[in-house]
Structure 1
Amino acid sequence: MTDLDQLTQSLARNLKHWRTERGYTLDALAARAGVSRGMIIQIEQARTNPSVGTTVKIADALGISITTLLEYDQEPQVRLVAPGEAVRMWSTEAGSYTSLLVGTEAPGPFELWEWRLMPGEQSESDPHPQGTQELLHVRRGELTLVVDGGEHPVPAGGSVTFEASLPHAYRNDGEEIVEMMMSVVVPSGH
């Protein structure tokens, strides 16, 4: 089984588990997530790999982290993600990417991400649930963080936190690769 097949199967299994756990019908989850009922069915039947945006919307609607939604195994206590096993969620041919490194559910979804943005590239994000916070640390290059239309340059070595319930984007306007770490904290119950 390929990594993509394993991811598709895990997503199908976990989506059905958490939808049932929350007591949501297909229609209720589709309405909460803002995606079609047909998309939910296709994902639960392992017939499609949704976009990052759709995956985020579904995880947010279920009140769980993307890590939990994509998790291969449900192991208690310690969860080690070995080098090379992080889930690559977005990438471009130029070399930009995001990798979900690790996440947890207590006290609410809490995720750690690695980002790389090549010069001239950007990634836009839909607003997350009210109260969601993102914390970023730029290791290399200069990030242009756009929050609700306002631009905030964050140089190498700089860190920033912001309310992620507003539209936001990560952009590399420079000549150097941007490498950064990001934590996402979603309030419990979302």
Structure 2
Amino acid sequence: MSDLEKLTQALARNLKRWRGERGFTLDSLAARSGVSRGMIIQIEQARTNPSVGTTVKLADALGVSISTLLDYDRGPQVRIVPPDQVVRIWSSGAGSSTTMLIGTDERGPMELWTWHLVPGEGTESAPHPSGTIEMLHVTAGELTLVVGEEEFRVPAGAAATFEANLAHSYRNDGPVPMEMTLAVSVPPVSAPLPAPASAAAHETVRAVVHEGDGRS
């Protein structure tokens, strides 16, 4: 494969990837860049070698450099964190702990945690930025989840998701240790924040609990 063919393939792959990363449809990228929808399709299918001017327009619209779009050495971005490199953030003398397994800042901070709470222990969290979502899956024991003024019981095998812009806490009120995996997604700081909700809306918490039925 010639260098030109490599660049054409790289541009096709990277353009499609970054368009997906930015959440642009073909039409929205066309409107933003001034490059026609048909041309973008041809580029993503590696059926044409666009001019430098066209490539610059696409790079500017996506907010990346030309070199990023033409980087043919870029493959799938995989990062593996060995068990001995996870970060224990909090622990108690009784044996409870929270550990961050992995995180990324690619499209706004996202973190994956594992939690262990012994009976009678818990921890509180201040409100996160508006738009923050938490998802959790309890694998042992039962979690008492408090969001705002409301309390929810999440048994082993169940999952829950909630908007974390209210004060919230996690407790183990049961007789056995509680284990769960927790994912936290925070919106990018550059993204426009949603308009403030009304006081009544602030009192409403959407917590979805799926009872364990063999599916996670």
Task: Give the shorter-chain TM-score range.
Answer: 0.5 to 0.7
Q: How many residues align?
A: 115
CA displacement at 1:101 relative to structure 2: 0.2
Aligned to 2:103: 103
2:155 is equivalent to residue 180 of structure 1? no
CA displacement at 1:142 relative to structure 2: 0.2
User: TM-score scaled by structure 1?
Assistant: 0.59
| Higher RCO (CA < 8 A, seq sep 6+) | 1
CA distance in 2, matches of 1:141, 1:84: 26
Aligned to 1:92: 92
Aligned to 1:155: 155
> Per-residue displacement from partner, 1:52-78 (whole Å, max 9, x unpaired)?
xxxxxxxxxxxxxxxxxxxxxxxx933
Q: Secondary structure at the match of 1:160?
A: strand
CA distance in 1, matches of 2:149, 2:90: 22
Identity %: 57
User: TM-score scaled by structure 2?
Assistant: 0.52
1:38-77 superposed matches below 5 A: 77=77
> Per-residue displacement from partner, 1:116-158 (whole Å, max 9, x unpaired)?
0000001000110000000000000000000002110000000
CA displacement at 1:83 relative to structure 2: 1.1
Aligned to 2:78: 78
Aligned to 2:141: 141
Q: Secondary structure at the match of 2:84?
A: coil
CA distance in 1, matches of 2:149, 2:110: 25
RMSD between superposed Cα atoms in Å: 1.3
Q: Determine which structure has more spread, i.e. the larger CA radius of gyration.
A: 2
Q: Secondary structure at the match of 2:152?
A: strand
Q: Which runs of 5+ in 1 are unaligned?
A: 1-75
Q: Which runs of 5+ in 2 are unaligned?
A: 1-75, 191-216
Aligned to 1:63: none
